[in-house]
Structure 1
Amino acid sequence: MNSSAGNDTLQHARHAPKRLKKIPVVTPWDPRNLVGFRRDPVAFLAKCVARYGDIFKFHILGIPMIMVNHPDHIEHVLVRRAENYTKKDTLIFDLTEFVLGNGLIRNPGGPEYARQRKLMQPTFRPNVVGFFTQNMIDESLHLAEMWRPAAGKDTPVNVTDDVGQIALRIVTRSLFSADVGETAREFELAFADANEVLGSLFRNPFPPLSLPSRRRTVMREATARMKRFVQSFVERRVATNDVRDDLLGMLMRATYEDDGGHMTVEQLYDEVLNLVIAAFETTTSGISWALYLIAKHPEVGQRFVNEIDTKLQGRIPTYRDLNELTYTRQIVDETLRLYTPAYQTMRSASESDDLDGYYVPAGANIYLNSYVTHRHPEFWDNPEKFDPERFSPEGMAARPKHAYFPFGSGPRICIGKYFALAELQLILAIIAQRYRLEIPPGQGEMVADQLITLHPRNGVRLLVRER
């Protein structure tokens, strides 16, 4: 037998179902399972993990899914065997095609994705992100001024709405060198409508968007409003070949390594809309949850303020300060642990695989949910507690890397990770220099809407107090 044939035989044996364990199955015809995911996905999944372990098969809308919850399994899917697990024909990304087109977020994968990622990656390196942090600083100061009239009064501000407007101003200034004014609120409302429709489709696909219905009408109108918002900026720039030094200009100038070509206008539309949506929602939800959690835990808030006062001595923070604001970064990380905006993702197995001794057939749908994994009791003590010390150097060294993956991992890790982290830290620092936020008396616990993203239901509302 030649070596090639021998290797083929060994490979077949490794992946043969008889040699590997079968993945436990959540009984699909049990009525409790039929409605459990639809009513409360994360509660349903947490119960399944407790009963079946860190890998099991369940059904979403009749479609079989393999849930992986252990850090080793997540690393296998997202990093070690990433080439075998693509976004092609996955429920979440099929649903979002209507909005996201062929942008990086839902691009199926393979050579096309690698080519597009390689083109865009240099635009989002840390040194380039630093160039745009002045926009983050300016708009954070603008937010602080917006809240000045509410300071000391007993009427709470809607943190989520206000931060949403600022988040859009930051991303549009960084992308287009433009101020958006009232159109920011229009985009914010359109995204909220689309997010709600996509979330409802994920739980109940009937009627689908292909059939006339109220939600198809809402989805079409919301998508059209978001696309008009983006296209109005891109069209003017492309028509005049305006390639100034903002993110859009960098994307327009970028050339593919293989043929020296540029992105088509259609691809620019998709990529820019993907960037706007991702930057807007990560910042809006992340800051909303962080400020709520800080207000709820005054001992964390006091340590946070002490760091800001000690390190900055009253001056406005800059990008260069972020490495020194270590506790601020820990607050950001712990907030994203509890409330990752993009808290669920899917992959499809191109070929059969051995996943930690379990047989994964070709075509299997793989489901990852960071809300559940980020509360894994084996790696997170008292997982519902808000404790930024989990992200001290000692805390991070004590657990596997992929027990925490708010931005994904591997070749498809979020391209805007450094932009988002800088933005979250700077906004929090500037607010902390000026205000202490409090939970209004009698307000109940905040609830997360489990839509396509994890958004605070009805928005976070807090009282503003000057320091």
Structure 2
Amino acid sequence: MQTPPRVPGLPLLGTLPELLTRKLDYVSELRERHGDIFTLDLKVGEVVLLCHPRHAQHVFVDRARSYGKSGPVFDSLRTLLGNGLAMSEGDFWMRQRRMMQPAFHHQRLAALTQKMVEAIDECLEGWEAAAAAGEPFDIARAFNRVTMNVMVRTMFGAGLEPSETERVANALVYVIDFILLGFATQSLPGWVPVPGRARYREALRTIDETVFGVIERARRDTGGEATLLSLLLDMVDEESGERMSQRELRDEAVTLFLAGYETTSVTMAWAMHALTQQPHLFQRLQAEVERAVGTRVPGFADLTSLAWCRNVAQESLRLYPPVYWVARKAVEEDVIDGFRIPAGKSMAVMVHHIHRHPGEWEAPERFDPDRFTPERSAGRHKHAWVPFGAGQRQCIGKEFALMEAQLILARLAQRFHVEAVPGRVAELLLSTTLRAKSGVWVKLTRR
């Protein structure tokens, strides 16, 4: 049985130069030429790219036990996330998932809504000066501050001092930027000089010191406010009667914090880019918010009435998925689409290309939130949209993230008109996440 088609490359460099210079466009061309499954020779190793929803179902759901989280990608990520829920496997992962699942039930999320809105409003106050001046405003950078503030409030509450927040924010920004380089240099000996590695390690120490300190204070403050951290502290494994260790708490807190901060910020930036390229869509967003909540502060009960806000977030996640590919390694031999997958083979589920697959999405390059209405979703492959993964390993914070996105969009629509800045169209930047190169520049007007 044949292995997936192998893309020819240069003698010493393989396909790496084309991939680095042309990035996702190059992968799109290869998909058109070779089909939905093919192998890239990166010279440091080969990787099989999977570009169809059925591949996501196969790897994430049907044969999930055959694909593990090992290799340089996960080795690099574990330096930050430890053995948190996104990284762990087997019985330990099952234990952690079982313990954490109740924290993300709707009743618990409802209790965090007010904290979210307060954090969002605090940041939007700072946008007033840009609106008054009528100057170009990088809303991508501003969303970083919004989602950071939301995660600080919901994860740590008052347990994190402003000075600590600033230190952790700066450390996280650097760590996220460095991780992609870490993938490529993970296998090098520690004595080999890698630009930025010493600063990366210092940033990790800053994150550890701060998070461990907050955990210790939260342990002592047993009657404190309800936060995600307090929920983690209270969790008990029903089977063993054990609570999480200090290190386990740290890993889960950092994993949730990073997921809620970086990916939601990127999603909001791309949503605003898309809405300002089609102004009638932003007007429609404002109209829904006016109908659903008027000028009052939205609460958890209002989220079902803000369905189009949710559609906007979902369409942004489709067209610009922050996690644009997901790594796996075959732990045993398998077969996909009639091709043999040897044990040990590195795999890449190409979320970006699954989300734009022409066989599943009409006019896939167009931003169209109505794709996610019940009528138009009917009949679509269940795994044509996988920004949070799928199966048992689907991101536990999916509903938290979508709720956060709805509330940000609603409060923004209530407060400001947003227009594109002529000549400043955002471009894709492949980093650890799918960011906007040079930001997303808009003009704000106070309503």
| TM-score, scaled to structure 2 | 0.93
Distance (whole Å) between structure 2 residues aligned to residue 318 and residue 406 of structure 1: 25
Given that 1:37 and 1:203 are in contact with CA atoms closer than 8 Å, whether structure 2 keeps it comes out as no
- CA shift, 1:441, in A, is 3.2
- CA shift, 1:29, in A, is 4.1
- CA shift, 1:66, in A, is 1.4
Structure 2 equivalent of residue 77 of structure 1:
59
The residue matched to 1:348 in structure 2 has which SS?
A: strand
Q: Is residue 258 of structure 1 aligned with residue 239 of structure 2?
A: yes
- CA shift, 1:209, in A, is 5.9
Residue identity opposite 1:259 in structure 2: S
User: Which ranges of structure 1 fall in alignment gaps of 5 or more residues?
Assistant: 1-19
The residue matched to 1:96 in structure 2 has which SS?
A: helix
- CA shift, 1:442, in A, is 3.0
- Matched positions, count: 445
- CA shift, 1:74, in A, is 0.9
- CA shift, 1:61, in A, is 5.0
- CA shift, 1:34, in A, is 2.9
Structure 2 equivalent of residue 351 of structure 1:
332
- CA shift, 1:246, in A, is 2.0
C-alpha change, 1:204 and 1:371, in structure 2 (3 Å) is: farther
Distance (whole Å) between structure 2 residues aligned to residue 96 and residue 361 of structure 1: 24
Q: List aligned pairs for 1:182-331, cutoff 5 A.
A: 182-202=163-183, 211-239=192-220, 245-331=226-312
Structure 1 equivalent of residue 114 of structure 2:
134
Structure 1 equivalent of residue 429 of structure 2:
449
353, 357, 363: which one aligns with 1:382 = 363
Residue identity opposite 1:140 in structure 2: I
111, 118, 123: which one aligns with 1:143 = 123
Given that 2:138 and 2:442 are in contact with CA atoms closer than 8 Å, whether structure 1 keeps it comes out as yes
Distance (whole Å) between structure 1 residues aligned to residue 340 and residue 14 of structure 2: 27
Between 28-37 and 447-456, report the one with greater CA deviation.
28-37
Q: List aligned pairs for 1:363-382, cutoff 5 A.
A: 363-382=344-363
Residue identity opposite 1:159 in structure 2: I
Distance (whole Å) between structure 2 residues aligned to residue 441 and residue 154 of structure 1: 14
Residue identity opposite 2:54 in structure 1: D
- CA shift, 1:226, in A, is 2.5
Distance (whole Å) between structure 2 residues aligned to residue 205 and residue 36 of structure 1: 22
Residue identity opposite 1:200 in structure 2: L
Given that 1:193 and 1:222 are in contact with CA atoms closer than 8 Å, whether structure 2 keeps it comes out as yes
44, 53, 64: which one aligns with 1:62 = 44
Deviations 1:236-292 (A, max 9, x none): 223555675321121112112331111110111111111111111122111122122
C-alpha change, 1:300 and 1:182, in structure 2 (3 Å) is: farther
Residue identity opposite 1:151 in structure 2: A
- CA shift, 1:423, in A, is 0.4
C-alpha change, 1:465 and 1:180, in structure 2 (3 Å) is: farther
Given that 2:14 and 2:42 are in contact with CA atoms closer than 8 Å, whether structure 1 keeps it comes out as no
Given that 2:135 and 2:443 are in contact with CA atoms closer than 8 Å, whether structure 1 keeps it comes out as yes
Between 327-336 and 223-232, report the one with greater CA deviation.
223-232
Residue identity opposite 1:334 in structure 2: E
Residue identity opposite 2:434 in structure 1: L
- CA shift, 1:298, in A, is 0.2
Given that 2:428 and 2:435 are in contact with CA atoms closer than 8 Å, whether structure 1 keeps it comes out as yes
Q: Is residue 99 of structure 1 aligned with residue 60 of structure 2?
A: no
Structure 2 equivalent of residue 49 of structure 1:
31
Between 173-182 and 323-332, report the one with greater CA deviation.
173-182
- CA shift, 1:421, in A, is 0.4
- CA shift, 1:420, in A, is 0.5
Structure 1 equivalent of residue 152 of structure 2:
172
Residue identity opposite 2:383 in structure 1: H
Distance (whole Å) between structure 2 residues aligned to residue 244 and residue 101 of structure 1: 27
Residue identity opposite 1:106 in structure 2: M
Distance (whole Å) between structure 1 residues aligned to residue 320 and residue 229 of structure 2: 30
Between 44-53 and 30-39, report the one with greater CA deviation.
30-39
C-alpha change, 1:413 and 1:275, in structure 2 (3 Å) is: same
Distance (whole Å) between structure 2 residues aligned to residue 441 and residue 357 of structure 1: 49
The sequence identity of aligned pairs, in percent, is 33
Deviations 1:111-145 (A, max 9, x none): 22111111111111222111101111112222232
Q: Is residue 459 of structure 1 aligned with residue 423 of structure 2?
A: no
Distance (whole Å) between structure 2 residues aligned to residue 423 and residue 136 of structure 1: 7
User: Which ranges of structure 2 fall in alignment gaps of 5 or more residues?
Assistant: none
C-alpha change, 1:345 and 1:60, in structure 2 (3 Å) is: farther
Distance (whole Å) between structure 2 residues aligned to residue 205 and residue 231 of structure 1: 26
Given that 1:38 and 1:203 are in contact with CA atoms closer than 8 Å, whether structure 2 keeps it comes out as no
Structure 2 equivalent of residue 439 of structure 1:
420
The residue matched to 2:340 in structure 1 has which SS?
A: strand
**Alignment root-mean-square deviation, CA:** 2.1
Distance (whole Å) between structure 2 residues aligned to residue 32 and residue 84 of structure 1: 28
Residue identity opposite 2:31 in structure 1: V
C-alpha change, 1:91 and 1:206, in structure 2 (3 Å) is: closer
The residue matched to 2:196 in structure 1 has which SS?
A: helix
C-alpha change, 1:40 and 1:206, in structure 2 (3 Å) is: farther
Distance (whole Å) between structure 1 residues aligned to residue 161 and residue 317 of structure 2: 28
The residue matched to 2:417 in structure 1 has which SS?
A: strand
Q: List aligned pairs for 1:394-433, cutoff 5 A.
A: 394-433=375-414
